[in-house]
Structure 1
Amino acid sequence: MVEPQSLQNLSAEELRELTTRLMTQLRHQSALLDKLTHENALLKRMKFAAQSERFNPEQKSLLEDEIEADLAAVATEIDALQEAQAPAKLEEKKVPKRAPLPANLPRREIRHEPASTTCACGCQMKRVGEDVAEKLDYVPGVFTVERHIRGKWACAKCETIHQVPVDPHVIDKGIPTTGLLAQVLVAKYADHLPLYRQEAILGRAGLAIPRSTLAQWVGSCGVQLQPLVDAMKAELLQHRVLHADETPVAMLKPGNGKTHRAYLWAYATGAFEATRAVVYDFCESRSGEHARRFLGDWRGSLTCDDFSGYKALIASGVTEVGCLAHARRKFFDLHA
């Protein structure tokens, strides 16, 4: 700080120099204040604000289902009260049109007929029509057992036995059919239903199948499906534009019981390609060597973020296509 009394003893040149120095300090303090204000706003947004950059219309409130259920319950109670108060009301209630049930669903007819078709007056009644009401029913997981019976045929003259060979199965000498295996895989990977929950579902049906057995089924199916993965990869590498990204997943390290950060690399065709395919490559690290090994001699346009692991691919002849979603994210942060 400069004392006011000392300013009187300064020359004009010294005053200009002092003013310049003070203005420089003021600009520096102002810039520092702006920087700290921005960082504080960014940290508060990262901690308290919504993480998504836009509202997803498919993301519904968890309370909406409860609200709809409560409204339906109240409407049912109101209808019951109105019917009790005015049973002789002849006006038909306006019911919203309901879409017909799909024609491909199997139908089971349940007929309701009077115990006797003889009228109280003694005359025989004649059928003049019927009313049909369709109700949608659901039977949880219906399990059936396939009994494969292979007859043995013997020739007395040749002293030989003939029998039809066993059909190939995904799991030799296992109890699951392809239908059950498909259900386990779809429930686990498409419906995100862990094996321990599937174990409980099977248990309610009276089937004691431990999750270790279910895990063995999943592993065996993975081996059997590997040729399909290889064919998808070969088809994928025929396209000139690919998308690539990697996401961390927790992997349990054998022996020490601790988790290790592994990565699931995803490769997909372009949005405007006729073939819509995604191939996943599980790797234990984020090294760019995994991407180079997967793509091999492929040389096309790769849409990816600015991760350094792709730089060796770019240097070897792959055309880099910057991801606009990542670029937009920076502008969005600055705007927010």
Structure 2
Amino acid sequence: MTAATNDTVLLNIIRQQSETIAALQKSLDQMNEESKLLREQIDYLTKKLFGRKSEKTDVISGQIVLEEVVFGQFNEAEEHMDPGEVEILITKKPSRKGYSREKAMAGIPEEDRFYRLAEEECVCEFDGDHLHSIGKKYMRTEIEYQPATMKLVHLYQESRECRTCRSQGRDYIITIKGPAPVLPHSMASASSVAWTMYQKYVNHVPLYRQEKDWKNLGLELKRSTLSNWIIKTSESWLAPMVDRLREKLLEQNYLHADETTLQVLKEAGRTAQSKSYMWVFATGETSRAPIRIFRYNAGRNGKVAADFLGDYKGYLHTDGYSGYGKVEGISRCACWSRVRRYFVDALPKDSKNPESTLPKIGIAYCNKLFDIESDLKALSPEDRKTKRLELELPVLEAFWSWVEDTLPKVLSKSKIGKALQYAL
């Protein structure tokens, strides 16, 4: 074998080994990325399971001075700074005024109860004279609970006739109409149905327990009867009211919409583990007539929002769910609270981890916008718009620039990658 042939063989071996090394390195990089994403997911789920649920916090491991970011003083080298040097200021809400017993008890019926000596006790033990009252001394105030009571109310209609007409051989009789029943051919009254609904939907007392409560009061009412009260009353009395509320809601030029998951037991054709959705549509904070309407649907299809909103042409404030794109003719507004939540979720479990820097910057931008909004609350809509353009526009421009510059530098499937993508 010649020297030239040996060189060719060696070069082929080197090339093959280089390709093998490159392939192994690529595979190692992929495994490292997957490992990093899995660790991040474990930390996130651990935080969700055992951490506190609220996003509010006094300090998230340091402070970022947002003005430095906005005006470009936060350079690339500083992205690798020690997270211990980074702090985010979060403005605390002013504490509520102290508890006042007088305010808490305002409006509650009051009764003065006097404890007096029995007549035979009103005698002086020294000389037998009668004891005279010299005043009263306050002891304490107690809260006295009176259990609920129930009674049967028998309704009668009075009828009256004209006796003169009767004597002349003609009838003239008038019978008072009386109140219409809540439900035809039912013993349900407005108060009993209202109490049943209040117990179930406000106090979360299931009907089988309410059935026992009614029995303890002396009346056997089956839960099927209570359920029928709720269903029939809702259809006859509440549905028209909801329809009217929807009409008034759609007269607003600015609305909120959102949807959340829930599970429905014993729903026909579906398992108890199936995801269902409760949709909510609400007026804005400044509306003179606040309205919130909830609508249940088995799915999350954007057609639910489109059907509810109909020909609505105003502004709709939602999260980033693409289903709202099926609502035609609206001007869609994104939610900054959701953007902030994505950055909060991207925070690693260890606040001193260098990877916490980028999420903290995103949170700082959001907090800055929230602080400005808080200061503008008392202004008129026109003045607020002017101030937003003056104070918030520079923050927004800096934020978008930071997002676009940072996004290519992170893993697209990582929490911070998803936060940046969501923000865009």
- Which residue is 1:328 aligned to? 340
Give the 3 Å change call, closer, same or farther, for CA 284–333 of structure 1 in structure 2.
closer
1:44 to 42, 45, 52: 42
Deviation, structure 1 residue 295: 0.7
Code of the residue aligned with 2:29 in structure 1: it is: A
Q: Say whether the 8 Å CA contact 2:242–2:293 is kept in structure 1.
A: yes
- In 2, the alpha carbon distance for the partners of 1:35 and 1:326 equals 26
Code of the residue aligned with 1:151 in structure 2: it is: E
Task: Say if 2:254 is the partner of 1:241.
Answer: yes
Task: Say if 2:316 is the partner of 1:302.
Answer: yes
- In 2, the alpha carbon distance for the partners of 1:293 and 1:322 equals 21
- Which residue is 2:216 aligned to? 204
- Which residue is 1:90 aligned to? none
TM-score (norm. length: structure 1): 0.71
- Which residue is 1:118 aligned to? 123
Give the 3 Å change call, closer, same or farther, for CA 332–135 of structure 1 in structure 2.
closer
- In 2, the alpha carbon distance for the partners of 1:52 and 1:321 equals 33
- Which residue is 1:99 aligned to? 101
1:204-243 paired onto structure 2 within 5 Å:
204-223=216-235, 224-243=237-256
Q: Say whether the 8 Å CA contact 1:243–1:268 is kept in structure 2.
A: yes
SS at match of 2:142: coil
Give the 3 Å change call, closer, same or farther, for CA 289–162 of structure 1 in structure 2.
same
- Which residue is 1:83 aligned to? none
Question: Which structure exhibits the higher relative contact order, with contacts defined as CA atoms closer than 8 Å and separated by 6 or more residues?
Answer: 2
1:7-46 paired onto structure 2 within 5 Å:
24-25=22-23, 28-29=26-27, 31-45=29-43
Q: Say whether the 8 Å CA contact 1:244–1:303 is kept in structure 2.
A: yes
Task: Say if 2:143 is the partner of 1:136.
Answer: yes
Q: Say whether the 8 Å CA contact 2:161–2:174 is kept in structure 1.
A: yes
- In 1, the alpha carbon distance for the partners of 2:294 and 2:181 equals 26
- In 1, the alpha carbon distance for the partners of 2:49 and 2:293 equals 28
Q: Deviations over 1:25-78 (max 9, x none)?
A: 5752453243122232134235533259864499xxxxxxxxxxxxxxxxxxxx
- In 2, the alpha carbon distance for the partners of 1:323 and 1:18 equals 53
1:275 to 284, 289, 308: 289
- In 1, the alpha carbon distance for the partners of 2:291 and 2:150 equals 33
Give the 3 Å change call, closer, same or farther, for CA 308–174 of structure 1 in structure 2.
same
Give the 3 Å change call, closer, same or farther, for CA 57–289 of structure 1 in structure 2.
closer
- Aligned length in residues: 287
Give the 3 Å change call, closer, same or farther, for CA 258–148 of structure 1 in structure 2.
same
1:184 to 174, 188, 196: 196
Code of the residue aligned with 2:329 in structure 1: it is: G
Q: Say whether the 8 Å CA contact 1:251–1:261 is kept in structure 2.
A: no
Structure with greater proportional strand content: 1
Mean CA deviation greater in 144-153 or 208-217: 144-153
Structure with greater proportional helix content: 2
SS at match of 2:285: coil
- In 1, the alpha carbon distance for the partners of 2:321 and 2:26 equals 34
- In 2, the alpha carbon distance for the partners of 1:159 and 1:31 equals 101
TM-score (norm. length: structure 2): 0.58
Deviation, structure 1 residue 225: 1.3
Code of the residue aligned with 2:130 in structure 1: it is: Q
Deviation, structure 1 residue 235: 1.5
SS at match of 2:48: coil
Unpaired segments ≥5 residues, structure 1? 1-5, 59-96
Give the 3 Å change call, closer, same or farther, for CA 309–187 of structure 1 in structure 2.
same
Code of the residue aligned with 1:175 in structure 2: it is: M
Deviation, structure 1 residue 186: 1.7
Deviation, structure 1 residue 306: 3.0
